[in-house]
Amino acid sequence: MPGIRVLIATVPERMGLLRRALASVCAQTMAPNSVVIVCDRGLKPADAMATIDLVLEDPHWLMNQGPSGAANAWNTGIDYIAKHWPDDYLAILDDDDTWDSEHLAGCLSIAARGDWPDLVISGIRAWVDGIEQPREPIRSLLVSDFLVGNPGWQGSNTFIRIATLLRAGCFTPGLASCNDRDLAIRVLSLEGLRSAFTARHTVNWFHERGRACLSSVGSDDKLSGLTRFYQLHGWRMTSEHERRFFARAKELFGLPRDLILQHLKELGHAL
């Protein structure tokens, strides 16, 4: 039976959030085989360890081996896990999210029933300023869904075979946001991919509008991420996909089409 390796990336200002995330890992009815925590933005493992008062079974503390950013931090952890446990499942948890206590057990149970698929996706609850936003658990995935937005596969409900993740190319280095959508498109494009769904919400995604994050309205990171995403995947989009992509960027993040295209032109010159 494949093991479960948990991966969390974190930064200095999120130690309180990391404690909450780790508490949900410790509360799992099925404990993971190991937990890998990658420190980013100059955070040293020794400093992070000193702030975490939870006892984990043999945690592995790493430093981001590439330029600062979530994608490179995750890739550092994936490289480490692939070298040590290449046949297992990887479960990612964002440092500001939590899992229900049965999350890992539920994912592994579905995986066993499905003869160990490449990917198991659970439902993810969205909490905005402490209020749950009702939505149905995801039960299917298409590449086209992610060209426009995200139907419900994010970092914290990623439960994927490590070999499958490596085959997809892991995370795109330097992508400031849209990492989940970019990865989903590449994974779902793999030939012969087998996926399964728990059809249950066991992940909690928290968004506080007053807290800075990659999805903050009008942020430079969001502009950079959307522009780079369009550069990578715009060729896949129909005219309707493009219309909806730019409309969503303006409605949710305050980033108009002309600004993204201007940034794309500047990015092209920089490359």
- Per-chain mean pLDDT for the chain: 92
Q: What is the pLDDT of residue 62?
A: 96
> At 25, is the pLDDT very low, low, confident or very high (cuts 50, 70, 90)?
very high
Convert the pLDDT of each residue in 227-266 to its tens digit.
999 999 999 999 999 999 999 999 999 999 999 999 999 8
DSSP state of 210: T
Q: What is the pLDDT of residue 268?
A: 72
- Entry pTM: 0.92
213, part of any domain: no
167, 257: one domain: no
Tell which residue, 239, 236, 214, 212, has the closest CA to residue 225. 214
Q: Number of helices (H) and strands (E), helices first, in the chain? A: 10, 9
266, 198: one domain: no
84, 157: one domain: yes
- Examine the fold and report which residue of 173, 207, 241 is the final residue of a domain before the chain moves on: 207
161, 266: one domain: no
24, 90: one domain: yes
53, 20: one domain: yes
133, 246: one domain: no
Distance of CA 222 to the CA centre of its chain: 15
82, part of any domain: yes
215, part of any domain: no
Tokens at 152, concatenated:
């419900």
Convert the pLDDT of each residue in 59-85 to its tens digit.
899 999 989 999 999 999 999 999 999
202, 228: one domain: no
Convert the pLDDT of each residue in 88-113 to its tens digit.
999 999 999 999 999 999 999 999 99
Q: Is the pLDDT of residue 54 over 80?
A: no
- Examine the fold and report which residue of 158, 185, 207 is the final residue of a domain before the chain moves on: 207
Convert the pLDDT of each residue in 31-45 to its tens digit.
999 999 999 998 888
82, 173: one domain: yes
Tokens 């990865």 correspond to: 183
Q: Is the pLDDT of residue 269 over 90?
A: no
Question: Residue 239 belongs to what domain range?
Answer: 220-270
72, part of any domain: yes
Residue 2, Cβ neighbours under 10 Å: how many? 15
> At 55, is the pLDDT very low, low, confident or very high (cuts 50, 70, 90)?
low
Q: What is the pLDDT of residue 154?
A: 93
147, 23: one domain: yes
* Cα first-last separation, the chain: 45
139, part of any domain: yes
- For β-strands 119-128 and 131-133, DSSP reports them as antiparallel
212, part of any domain: no
73, 116: one domain: yes
Which residues touch 89 (CB under 8 Å, ≥6 apart)? 2, 3, 4, 5, 107, 108, 111, 120, 159, 160, 161, 162
Convert the pLDDT of each residue in 192-220 to its tens digit.
999 999 999 999 999 887 665 555 666 89
Q: Is the pLDDT of residue 271 over 60?
A: no
The tally of domains found in the chain comes to: 2
> Residue 123 maps to which CATH number?
3.90.550.10
